[in-house]
Structure 1
Amino acid sequence: MAAQHLNLLIVIADAEHARFVRPAEEDNTLRSSSRVQPEEGHGGAENQAHNQHPEKFATWVAGQLNQHAASYDELVLVAPAHTLSLIGAHLDKPAQARLIGKLDKDLAKISDHDLWPHVKHWVRRVHRAKLL
């Protein structure tokens, strides 16, 4: 019986930045699939609102997770406590049902490679078929 691959999404955020990270199927190398900062992907006056109100940015991140919940099977949130609670408070039921872990740390500015020690216990081992 083949092992089912579960799509894990790890969200690394702080009050102004979010990064969506997925482990590669072949070797679990962590790779950012996208990065968002207030100046990217948001319009003028809304940028100002994010810079002045981190809760608006956290709500936006939760909205993205809600909107794209079908694209992941499991979700891990990594953010400082205040941002973590704000994002969590705005997740709808389908996204909450996929939430398998939270980590209260500010890792928004570290590289994908340096994330591994912090998130490795949520990443499932890659199962390779043995060659005979």
Structure 2
Amino acid sequence: MTHVKRFQSIPMSKSMRGLCKEEDYAFLGVSGSSTRGSPEDQGALEENWKDTKEARARRRLEGEQQEKERLRAIEDSKKEREQQWRRHIAEVTSSQEKTLQDRRTRLHSFREFQRKVLAEEGGAEGAAVHLLVTRM
């Protein structure tokens, strides 16, 4: 492990040093076991390495799946909010249309009432009333 002393002066984060050590030991264990050690040790190291690799792949897939679920949930909530907004706009529009219709009806009945009152007030003023009513 002379390389450890030689490369110790290189600034590295603790996690990076840990990864490098892990890779060094895995490499040295696999390549060194062919000349030293028993075949059982080599098989155990390879199996441990494979298990670690499979665990990493499994965690990566789980993370990707969780991310997809999170994005799907966000998309669903966006769709739901959009539908609620559309319903709200439809309700507001409907109430405004009803209010306008009611106003129109009340105004129409008021004008009819005005015409009737003006017609009853005077026959001589009928021409002026007729002119006034037609302007309205």
TM-score of the superposed pair, with normalisation by structure 1: 0.19
Answer 1 or 2: higher relative contact order, Cα 8 Å, separation at least 6. Answer: 1
Larger radius of gyration: 2
TM-score of the superposed pair, with normalisation by structure 2: 0.19
Which one has a larger percent strand, Structure 1 or Structure 2? 1
Which one has a larger percent helix, Structure 1 or Structure 2? 2
